[in-house]
Amino acid sequence: MDLNDVNYKIENAADSVSVTVTNKAANRDVEVTVKFVENPDYYIKLDQAKQTYNADAVRQEIAMYYGSEEEFFSQYGSYYSSVDDVVQQGIDNEMQGVYQYLPEEMVVSAVYSKAELMKQAGMNTLLGMGTVFVVLIFISFIISLFKFLPALFAKKPKIEDLKKEESKPAAPAKAATPAPAAGNLMNDAELVAVITAAIYAAEGQAGNGAVSKDKLVVRSIRRARK
C-alpha cells in the first residue's frame, strides 16, 4: 500500500506519537487515531544486539568458518555486500518482534459534515436550556413548600394539657343589663319639658303669656291624660 494514497496525520509529542488515519467508507468516513509510546525494552535489547553483532565479532566468525572474507562474500555476495551489512542483518534478526513504540490507546470516531455538527450543537443547546428550566421549576416548587414548614415544626399540645383545659370550670355568664322601658323615657322627657316651661314662665314678663329666650310661648300648663 502506497502511503501517498492514504490520508494520515502524525503528531509527535515529548514521549509519544499519535497517528490518525482516515478510512473512507460507503456511508461515512471514519478516523482512527492510535497513540504510541516508547518501549523501554527496545533500547535494552538493541544494546545487547549491538554487543553481540559488531564488526570485530563478525570478522572473527568469518575467519573461523570461511577462512577469509573473500571466501565468505563469494558464497553470500548476493545477500551481503560488506561486513556492516552482516552486522546490521544480525541486529535485525535479534530485534524481530521488538518495537520502538507500543500502541497505548486507540480512538475511532466518525467524520461529520459542518451541517451535521451545527445540528448536533443546536440539539445540545436546546437540551441544556431545557434541563436548566426544569431544574428552576423544581427549585421554585421546593421554595413554595417552605410556607408549610412552620406548621410542621409547631409544638403540638400534649394530651395532658388538653385534659387540664377540659377539666377547668367554665366562667359564669354575665347577667344582661335590662334596657330601660320606652314608657319611662317618654315620661322623663315630658317632665323635663314641663319644668323648663315653668321656669321660663316664672322668669318671663307678665302678659298674655310668658316668652322664653328661644321665643317659646307657654299659654297654659295641663296634665296630659293617659
- For residue 173, being part of any structural domain is answered with no
| Cα–Cα distance, 59 to 73 (Å, whole number) | 12
Do residues 52 and 71 both lie within one domain?
A: yes
Let me know whether 97 and 143 are in one domain.
no
**90 and 158 part of one domain:** no
Residue 131 belongs to some domain of the structure: yes
Note the pLDDT tens digit of each residue in 138-149. 999 999 988 887
C-alpha atoms less than 13 angstroms from C-alpha of 104 in its C-beta half-sphere: 12
Does 38 share its domain with 75? yes
- Do 132 and 105 sit in the same domain of this protein? no
In a domain, 172, yes or no: no
In a domain, 226, yes or no: no
32 and 132 in a single domain? The answer is no
Give the per-residue pLDDT at 206.
Answer: 43
Number of domains making up the chain: 3
The string of pLDDT tens digits covering residues 140-199 is 999 998 888 787 777 665 666 656 666 666 555 555 555 555 445 455 667 777 777 777
% of the chain at pLDDT higher than 90? 26
- Taking each helix axis from N to C end, the angle separating 83-94 and 55-66, rounded to the nearest 10 degrees, works out to 110
Domain residue limits at 188? 183-218
Nearest to 13 by CA among 36, 43, 32, 30: 36
Last residue of a domain, one of 111, 127, 144: 111
